[in-house]
Amino acid sequence: MSAHRAPTGGRIDRSKTIAFTVDGKAYAGHPGDTLASALLANGVTLMGRSFKYHRPRGLLGAGDEEPNALFTVLGPGAVREPNIQATRIEIFDGLQVESQNRFPSLSFDVGAINRLAGKLFSAGFYYKTFFGPEWIKGTRVWHVFEWFIRRAAGLGSASAARDPARYERMNAFCDVLVVGAGKAGLAAARDAAEAGKRVILCDSEPPSPAATAEFAAHANVECLPRTTVWGHYDDMTFAAVERVADHLADPPAHLPRHRHWVIRTKEIVVATGAVERPLVFPGNDAPGVMLASAALRYAAEFAVRPGARIVVFANNDTAYAAAAGLAALGSTIAAIVDVRPNPPEAARALAARAGAELIVASAVVSTAGGKALSGVAIAEIGPDGAPGANRRTLSCDCLAMSGGWTPQIQLAAQQGAKPRWDERLHAFHAPDLPSGWSMAGSAAGDFDLDEGLSAYPAPVFEIKAKGKAFVDFQHDVTADDVRLAHCEGYVNVEHMKRYTTLGMATDQGRTANLAGLAIMAEARGLTPPEVGTTRSRPPLVPVSLGAITAERKDDLKPWRLTPMHDWHLENGATMYNAGLWSRPMIYGAPGETIEQAYVREAAAVRSGVGIVDVSTLGKIAVQGPDAPEFLDRVYTNLFSTLAVGKARYGLMLREDGIAYDDGTTWRLGDNDFLMTTTTANAGKVMQQLEYYLDCVWPDLRVILTSVTDEWAGAAVGGPKARDVLAACVSGAKVDDAHLPFMGIVKGEIAGAPVLICRLSFSGELAYEVYSGAGHAAHVWEALMAAGKPFAITPYGLEALGTLRIEKGHVTGAEIDGRTTARDLGLDWMLSKKKSFVGSAMMDREGLFHPDRLRLVGLVSLDDRAINGGSHVVDSLDGEKATQSLGHVTAACFSPALGRYIALALVKNGRERLGQRAFITDPLRGRAGPVEIVHPVFVDPEGKRMHG
Amino acid sequence: MREYSAFALLKNALTGNTGWKEAWRKPELKASYDVIIVGGGGHGLSTAYYLAKEHGVRNIAVVEKGWIGSGNIGRNTTMIRSNYLHPQNQHFYEHSLTLWENLSQELNFNVMFSQRGVMNLAVGPAQLDDFARRGNAMRLAGIDAELLSREQVAKVIPGMDVSASARFPIYGGLMQWRGGTARHDAVAWGYARAADRLGVDIIENAEVTGFLKDGDTITGVVTKRGEIRAKKTAVVVAGSTGQVMKLAGIDRLPIESHVLQAFVTEAVKPFIHTVAAFGGGHLYFTQSDKGSLVFGGDIDGYNTWAQRGNLPVVEDVMSEFVALFPGLARVRLLRSWGGLMDMSMDGSPIIAKGPLPGMYLNTGWCYGGFKAVPASGWTFAWTIAKDEPHAFNRHFTLDRFRRGLIIDEKGQGSTPRLH
Amino acid sequence: MRITCPHCGRRDVAEFTYQGDANRLRPDPASTDQAAWNAYVYDRVNTRGPHREFWQHSGGCRAHLAVERDTATHAILSVSYARDSDTARAGRRP
């Protein structure tokens, strides 16, 4: 036992010793200790350095309010967790932490030199300098200063090492959510449990024996220790974080590190307690100066004496009870210094019981000591907090202060309603609460004190003596900073907060906000509520990004794989992400470049036969008596006239007349259509069609079913495609008479039913073979086997793209949400016989402008590749700004032409066919001459696909 | 001597920091002004400043519902760039960027414009080509842009997962080095102070509750602090546009109000020295001079006037951030907030005379308004002073929708939640 | 935020897709009244307070719902099937 640790008492387990290190130095503690209590028991008072002035700091509090004692928790491996309050770290064997914001060490920190320039570094000083004189243009001067500022910025440092921990998300539902397992919270949970309600009881602390014992037998109460409710969202949804395994030396694999709880409840009881406020006086940040409640807590819960000789400094009665408690636990209370002239009798009795000298109408005006407190100076004060001349010093190693109490109402205030000011408590209460909400215990201003004692403070928050008096400890905001903000007109509470950074540190200003508000109110001659309150927003305490990310940490988005995925991998495909889908890009042979591979694949389609997986196309079953009418409304062209057993290419517009999506739709029966969409728009088109049926044309008798995942597809294309099908299809004839262009037949391949439509994206004689997803891999392999005599070649997205560029078919690169049917050369698809979605707005003047970008082809005249994203220009003038005529949407080497070609959108492009122009790609340093040509490079008459 | 300088700082430090003047006065309302600007946000304050400085109009009232800078200027992720695709936007935003570059000196207030680069991360060759299209358009318009390889991206942002095993592997990025960030509040305060010094009355806590009209013509406003008259009344209230314009009798506009959440972590030692946007989802991030990681994602996706977001978007944004920075799962979220976005129907703004006589409207900033603050005020001031648009804002009309002259950077049409 | 789907019950907002302002009436398909089409496609009431809007239960039964929601508080005031709403009824064939 150290001199600081009492031999008995507290919640610690003295039978076991825990070894941990701080900055590599070994310390010992006991189970039940926090890092804060363990260090205090080891006689450590210096636990951190402040943000701006690098002042030495010790513990101020014992819980979430702690602003000073922040450490970086190290491990496992290179993982680092910065800025963790010592009061929230439960020690375990092997715990390693590092102090922060100091160089080279916590006790000798060269950054402390900033203290010398304290007056210069006043609030907002950086707005007034660092930008240079007017005659130095630009941001250069600031960049120089900023480099130094960024070197000094930040608290702890993070690590790039991947966090090996697992996080998880839980959805929970209950009747009553009780936040806080103190006396009031326990009572509320008990009442609700006895009424048969489902209760969740959250508490930020480790499990309390009282709660554990009481609710062990209640099946309807779930206790969540180490759990902080941090956010209120609409409709009684609450977010909480449970620190499941942070306190374990060797967490079992099944436990996540943190658990993200999303709790939906009917009622909530907020029993989050109240936080004691510091008093504002010079030197109030010295290590050894702490909140009276924290001092008592260290003594009572951890059996650690916060000091051998304690002075108590207060403006209210509650500190007297703390003094008596501390005395009972073995500390000497040298004196109680009270700003009030007449503390009540009950308080005086407690002072006597503590054996303390009672010094009234007085205040602490300075502290001595540096890294550990050695004494305080006190003086008599007037009612306004101004100290008089009579001074004396008291020697002590701990100053326990109490500036009154602030109910913790942040959760209730997150709704956005204005908190109510309590003139006696000098603090805000929760706003008027909607039904389902209640506050309990000290969070509601009910302090449960002994007879004759009150939590109401004298209205003295600041002792106006000379020296730096801190309001916000972590951000080094002083009372003078608040007054400077006032002097410069930053008088609204939000302006003050932003100008001084008061309340914006990791402790969220728990101990700082009210004093800051009070000082500003006094400067303005207003009451604090007239100055305003800042809005409370989630999160209430800092929450690890990992917790909120939960299972998505190592699994951001699902993968979509086609039934042929394994075959692609086994056959040498290089895969490519297309949205959530994984698709073959090329099936490269050893030693082939990407270009060599796709040129080989595309050439094989033009000369023989190729096969490509088209399962990712969106597929929607459109069924019902009004299906033809519905399709006529959503497509620009007619579908009601389509014969059963035939397919037709269709184009959809948006309501504003801009092209939206395209695809083929197959008529399988009078009232039965299979619509296909582009891969990228499958979900959006489905949703839009559902919208029309539900919200615009509810009387159309149409049922939509997304069958994208039910049907898998293989496109077989090339002069020998028919031979391949003829070799493997049974139950249907595939010759030109039975299966003409755009015809559909049903048959079987290798025993599996298939639907075959003769349509072509490549421009070759081609078929799309659809089969149920469960048979698709089997069908694919049967097609490969049947194609073997014809040297069938599987091809990927690159060759698919090449074939479509050669044919001038548009995709998402051209239907980019800004182009019209006319721009794309698809005006022939705009029916004049009917209205359709987009028809009313497609003729607006802006959509007819002669300067609109229109689809053309480009042929490289220097036999070099054209890069996607290049622009088209009239003339090349080096790097000089040139008017862009348009841009390249897709480019490739065309095996059919033996040239590098591209599709492009060019201003008034249809009038430029046959003209020379240039492509330019200044980003990649490529420019060269091109000829503007018709976008259909290969077989413009369509003889091949009709063959 | 200029009011703010290192010398002034030293001098005041020696005299106890009591010699500073109010950054802006707290004047009483006058009965009439030449111009009333409704909205004391970034755009309103910069409009007042440029009207006074460039056009000699000094008799101006800026009326603000609450405290100046309480809207989106005080709740955004502070990113500045001019990396637009369409020429209508390029020239406007590039003008803004050039104003930003000398803004601290001009306002004698350090707005901390840090040109640390803005990068768009591409997650596939198709997206990289798409970014190249944009970057090339910028270069042709005389705006800086660079295409970075994956290796170059990795050097710019160490610690980011650029591996091929990522769910959405990064292929490269489009970088605009002249882009960056600024200190958002300082922009509001800097413009307010500079406008104040030119005689502009900035009147806080003066919510507009009605308009004064002579027939259809707007002749002033009714505020909670009294009536004021002016020949010209300019409305520049971002997310509140719908409500304020209803007071003038305009019931429908091509604007919806949505909420965008933004997020800040605890301060950690700076290691991300640039601004980046991730094309694999919707995420943009940077690290402030204080060390906080600052990031945001999609709007919540439904009409709202509550400056409050919902949990699914929080989870989405955190997930994308952690996917890019697997080492930061242990860094902690410190603050979040929600700003009201005036989402227009094509994602581009409106800076125009009208829609009523005597009225001028500036709105539709979606979530890109911060970087536009200088040019928005500059062009709006021009439009108010000369009763016609400048070349930079002539495309940002209200009637462009009817005429089909839409400026749609994302190609999403009239669905604001997708812009 | 949670929405009570008439078919599936009370579900989290994450299951729904916002489908926009339900105060707009689509003009008769054959109409060539540009002002009416412009109002339908581009103009919004953008109400602060009770607002009629469509949501799709895209992560559930896929039905579109007509929801009245207070845009200032996010309180859901009523939910019904969109196909029964006034807006949708106006689109029925005469």
Rounded to whole angstroms, the Cα distance separating A877 from B94 reads 22
Contacts of A235 in chain C (CB under 8 A): 1-2, 74, 76
pLDDT of A110: 83
pLDDT, one tens digit per residue, over A362-415 is 999 999 998 899 999 999 998 777 888 888 999 999 999 999 999 999 999 998
Which 58-77 residues of chain C touch chain B by CB within 8 A? 69, 71-74
Domains in chain A: boundaries? 1-162, 167-270, 468-525, 565-616+711-803, 618-706, 849-946
- Asked if C40 and A655 come within 8 Å (Cβ–Cβ), the reply is yes
Contacts of B303 in chain C (CB under 8 A): 18, 21, 46-47, 51, 53, 71
Task: Name the token pair of A4.
Answer: 């600081």
User: In the predicted model, what is the mean pLDDT of residues A262-284?
Assistant: 97
pLDDT, one tens digit per residue, over B268-313 is 999 999 999 997 778 999 999 999 999 999 899 999 999 889 999 9
What is the nearest CA distance from A567 to chain B, expressed in angstroms? Answer: 21
pLDDT of A112: 79
Most A-contacting residue of C62, C70, C81, C84 (CB-CB within 10 A), to test interface? C62
- Asked if B253 and C46 come within 8 Å (Cβ–Cβ), the reply is yes
**Interface check C37 vs A, CB under 8 A:** yes
**CATH level 3 topology of B27-79+184-255+346-418:** FAD/NAD(P)-binding domain (3.50.50)
3-state secondary structure of A157: coil
Could you give the ipTM of this predicted complex? 0.98
pLDDT, one tens digit per residue, over A123-160 is 889 999 999 888 899 999 999 999 999 998 988 999 88
pLDDT, one tens digit per residue, over B334-385 is 999 999 999 999 999 999 998 999 999 999 999 889 999 999 999 999 999 9
pLDDT, one tens digit per residue, over C4-62 is 999 999 999 999 999 999 999 899 888 889 999 999 999 999 999 999 999 999 999 99
- Asked if B415 and C20 come within 8 Å (Cβ–Cβ), the reply is yes
Residue from A399, A377, A401, A379 nearest A390 by CA = A379
pLDDT tops 80 at residue A117:
no
pLDDT tops 80 at residue B1:
no
Domains in chain B: boundaries? 27-79+184-255+346-418, 113-182+256-344
pLDDT of C94: 54
Which residues are CB-contacts of A809 (< 8 A; sequence separation ≥ 6)?
A761, A763
Q: Which domain holds residue C84?
A: 2-89
**Interface check A596 vs B, CB under 8 A:** no
- Asked if A870 and B124 come within 8 Å (Cβ–Cβ), the reply is no
Intrachain domains B27-79+184-255+346-418 and B113-182+256-344 with the same fold: no
Decide: residue A512, CB within 10 A, 0-12 exposed, 13-18 middle, 19+ buried.
buried
pLDDT, one tens digit per residue, over A873-908 is 998 876 565 789 999 999 999 999 999 999 999 999
Strand partners, A673: A622, A667
Chains that touch B (3 or more CB pairs under 8 A): A, C
Residue of B nearest to C13 (CA): B312
Which 181-210 residues of chain B touch chain A by CB within 8 A? 183, 185-186, 189-190, 204
pLDDT, one tens digit per residue, over A221-248 is 999 999 999 999 999 999 999 999 999 9
Residue from A87, A110, A147 nearest A506 by CA = A87
Evaluated on CA atoms B244, B250, B252, B253, the torsion sign reads: negative
3-state secondary structure of A124: coil
**Interface check C55 vs A, CB under 8 A:** no
Q: φ and ψ at B7, to 5 degrees?
A: -65, -45
- Asked if B70 and A156 come within 8 Å (Cβ–Cβ), the reply is no
pLDDT, one tens digit per residue, over B23-46 is 999 999 999 999 999 999 999 999
pLDDT tops 80 at residue B401:
yes
Chains that touch C (3 or more CB pairs under 8 A): A, B
Task: Name the token pair of A444.
Answer: 């509601």
DSSP single-letter state for residue A5: B
Is B308 or A85 the better-scoring residue by pLDDT? Answer: A85
- Asked if B332 and A544 come within 8 Å (Cβ–Cβ), the reply is yes
Which 844-883 residues of chain A touch chain B by CB within 8 A? 844-848, 867-871, 873, 879, 881-883
* % pLDDT > 90, chain A: 88
For residue A177, give the H/E element and its range. Answer: strand A167-179
What is the nearest CA distance from A666 to chain B, expressed in angstroms? Answer: 28
pLDDT tops 90 at residue A111:
no
Task: Name the token pair of A139.
Answer: 């941001």
CATH value of B113-182+256-344 in 3.40.50.2300, 2.40.30.10, 3.30.9.10, 3.40.190.10: 3.30.9.10
DSSP A865-927: PPPTT-EEESS-BTBS-----EEEEEEEEETTTTEEEEEEEEETGGG-TT-EEEEEETTTTEE
pLDDT of B245: 97
**CATH level 3 topology of A565-616+711-803:** Gyrase A; domain 2 (3.30.1360)
Which residues are CB-contacts of B180 (< 8 A; sequence separation ≥ 6)?
B79, B80, B81, B113, B114, B115, B116, B117, B118, B275
Task: Give the residue numbers in B contacting C (CB under 8 Å), as ranges.
Answer: 242-243, 251-257, 301-306, 308, 310-312, 345, 401-402, 414-415, 417
**Interface check C22 vs A, CB under 8 A:** yes
Q: Using CB atoms, which residue from A129, A155, A262 is nearest to B4?
A: A129
Contacts of C1 in chain B (CB under 8 A): 310
pLDDT band at A947 (very low <50, low <70, confident <90, very high): confident
User: In the predicted model, what is the mean pLDDT of residues A89-98?
Assistant: 97
3-state secondary structure of A803: helix
- Asked if C18 and B301 come within 8 Å (Cβ–Cβ), the reply is yes
pLDDT of A113: 80
pLDDT of B19: 86
**CATH, residue C76:** 3.30.2270.10
Rounded to whole angstroms, the Cα distance separating C70 from B91 reads 39
pLDDT, one tens digit per residue, over A594-615 is 999 999 999 999 999 999 999 9
pLDDT, one tens digit per residue, over A444-491 is 999 999 999 999 999 988 999 999 999 999 999 999 999 999 999 999
- Asked if A835 and C58 come within 8 Å (Cβ–Cβ), the reply is no
Q: Using CB atoms, which residue from A548, A845, A888 is nearest to B403?
A: A845
Contacts of C41 in chain A (CB under 8 A): 655-656, 841
Q: Do A364 and A377 touch, CB atoms closer than 8 A?
A: yes
| Amino acid identity for residue A683 in this structure | G
Which 29-48 residues of chain B touch chain A by CB within 8 A? none
pLDDT band at A176 (very low <50, low <70, confident <90, very high): very high
pLDDT band at A206 (very low <50, low <70, confident <90, very high): very high
User: In the predicted model, what is the mean pLDDT of residues A835-854?
Assistant: 94
What is the nearest CA distance from A696 to chain C, expressed in angstroms? Answer: 5
- Asked if C92 and A237 come within 8 Å (Cβ–Cβ), the reply is no
User: In the predicted model, what is the mean pLDDT of residues A655-667?
Assistant: 97
**Mean confidence (pLDDT) of chain A:** 94
H, E, C per residue of chain B: CCCCCHHHHHHHHHCCCCCCCCCCCCCCCCCEEEEEEECCCHHHHHHHHHHHHHHCCCCEEEECCCCCCCCHHHCCCCEECCCCCCHHHHHHHHHHHHHHHCHHHHHCCCCCCECCCEEEEECCHHHHHHHHHHHHHHHHCCCCCEEEEHHHHHHHCCCCCCCCCCCCCCCEEEEECCCEECCHHHHHHHHHHHHHHCCCEEECCCCEEEEEEECCEEEEEEECCEEEEEEEEEECCHHHHHHHHHHCCCCCECEEEEEEEEEEEEEECCCCCCEEEECCCCEEEEECCCCEEEEEEEEEEEECCCCCCCHHHHHHHHHHHHHHCHHHCCCEEEEEEEEEEEEECCCCCEEEECCCCCEEEEECCECCHHHHHHHHHHHHHHHHHHCCCCHHHCCCCCCHHHHCCCCCCCCCCCCHHHC
Rounded to whole angstroms, the Cα distance separating A210 from A184 reads 12
Neighbouring C-beta atoms of residue A818, cutoff 10 Å: 23
CATH class of A1-162: alpha beta
Place of tokens 């804002």: B393
Task: Name the token pair of A430.
Answer: 């929760």
**CATH level 3 topology of A849-946:** Elongation Factor Tu (Ef-tu); domain 3 (2.40.30)
Most B-contacting residue of C40, C41, C46 (CB-CB within 10 A), to test interface? C46
pLDDT band at C93 (very low <50, low <70, confident <90, very high): low
Let me know how long chain C is: 94
Residue pairs between chains A and C whose CB atoms are closer than 8 Å: 80
Rounded to whole angstroms, the Cα distance separating B356 from B33 reads 19
Residue of C nearest to A688 (CA): C19
Task: Name the token pair of B292.
Answer: 């906080």
DSSP A306-356: S-SEEEEEESSSHHHHHHHHHHHTT-EEEEEEESSS---HHHHHHHHHHTP
What is the nearest CA distance from B346 to chain C, expressed in angstroms? Answer: 9
Rounded to whole angstroms, the Cα distance separating A767 from A783 reads 12
pLDDT tops 80 at residue B254:
yes
Which 14-43 residues of chain C touch chain B by CB within 8 A? 14, 17-18, 20-21, 34-35, 38-39, 41-43
**Interface check A848 vs C, CB under 8 A:** no
pLDDT of A134: 86
User: In the predicted model, what is the mean pLDDT of residues A11-40?
Assistant: 96
CATH of domain A618-706: 3.30.70.1400
- Asked if B308 and C51 come within 8 Å (Cβ–Cβ), the reply is no
pLDDT tops 90 at residue A213:
no
CATH of domain A167-270: 3.50.50.60
Q: ∠ at Cα B174 (B154, A800), nearest 5°? A: 100
**Distances from the Cα of B33 to the Cα of B36, B192, B199, B221, B229, angstroms:** 7, 17, 12, 11, 6
- How would you classify the pairing of strands A581-587 and A573-578? antiparallel
Residue of C nearest to B240 (CA): C48
Neighbouring C-beta atoms of residue A772, cutoff 10 Å: 17
What is the nearest CA distance from C6 to chain B, expressed in angstroms? Answer: 20
User: In the predicted model, what is the mean pLDDT of residues A245-263?
Assistant: 96
Contacts of C29 in chain A (CB under 8 A): 633, 835-836, 839-840
pLDDT tops 60 at residue A915:
yes
Q: φ and ψ at B361, to 5 degrees?
A: -125, 135
User: In the predicted model, what is the mean pLDDT of residues A416-422?
Assistant: 89
**Interface check C77 vs A, CB under 8 A:** no
**Distances from the Cα of A656 to the Cα of A534, A629, B145, B346, angstroms:** 44, 21, 32, 11
The whole-model pTM stands at: 0.95
3-state secondary structure of A204: coil
Rounded to whole angstroms, the Cα distance separating B291 from B266 reads 8
Own/partner pairs, A300-303, CB within 8 angstroms, 24+ separation? A300/A9, A300/A10, A300/A325, A300/A329, A301/A10, A301/A11, A301/A37, A302/A10, A302/A11, A302/A12, A302/A32, A302/A33, A302/A34, A302/A37, A302/A40, A302/A41, A303/A5, A303/A6, A303/A8, A303/A9, A303/A10, A303/A12, A303/A329
Instruction: Label residue A787 left, alpha or beta by phi (over 0 means left) and psi (-120 to 50 means alpha).
Output: alpha
